[in-house]
Amino acid sequence: MLYLFDLLGCAIFAFSGALAAGRAKLDWLGVMIIATITAIGGGTVRDLLMNRHPIFWMQDPCYLYLTCLTGLATIAYVQYLPIPYHVLLVADALGLALFAIYGAQLAAAAGHRGIIVIVMGTMTGTAGGVIRDILSNQIPLILRKDIYASAAIVGIGIYLLLKKLKWRESWAFVAGFIAVVSLRLLALTLNWQLPVFNLR
């Protein structure tokens, strides 16, 4: 069940990566590469920092098949149908929430302190998008605007708090997940933004 969700999250992020690759005019292989990196980059950085080997996609190649296929499917899709930006934003919020809480769960299970759990979860949810933006030669989106990484941080905080209050793992997971999704979608709807630090 969680595994299926995880694959779904990968497909969503791969889709957003493939669209970014299209805007940067990459070739088909480049699209598959960017789609894959966007989807699995966050978990890879997490596994490297936490010294978890083999890296998750090296153990289970389904992830790579899925992201490459999603990249190709995206190319085919946009020839015929409009890009469903609204659906995509909701799907992306689901992917962010899932990856963030799942990454946090792994770090908590490894016995890390609260702040490390937050960093690992947030990184799992966002690092793929950061690498995608670096490869497309842009300042990473999540650093510039929007409640994105912050939604992940708050949701992981709630997950950790509920665990401390002795909630069952699965309930804390669901609550954290819902918190990230709600916060992200609320921020999009109401156009919430963090204040900007503008030096000149």
d(CA 127, CA 129): 5
Q: Which amino acid is located at 60 in the chain?
A: D
Of 5, 7, 8, 49, the one binding a second copy (CB under 8 A) is 49
Binders in 144-183 for a second copy, by CB under 8 A: 144-145, 149-150, 153
Of 139, 164, 171, 186, the one binding a second copy (CB under 8 A) is 139
Residue count, binding to a second copy (CB under 8 A): 57
d(CA 13, CA 116): 24
Residues 159, 165, 168, 169, CA torsion sign: positive
String marking each residue 55-84 x if it binds a second copy according to CB under 8 A: x--x--x--xx---------x--x------
Instruction: Give me the least distance between CB of 185 and a second copy, in Å please.
Output: 18
- Of 147 and 158, the one with the shorter C-beta distance to a second copy is 147
d(CA 9, CA 51): 23
Listed residue (65, 70, 160, 83) closest to 114, CA to CA: 160
d(CA 199, CA 100): 31
Contact residues toward a second copy (CB under 8 A) are 18-19, 21-31, 33-34, 44, 48-51, 53-55, 58, 61, 64-65, 75, 78, 112-113, 115-116, 119, 130, 134-140, 142-145, 149-150, 153, 193-200
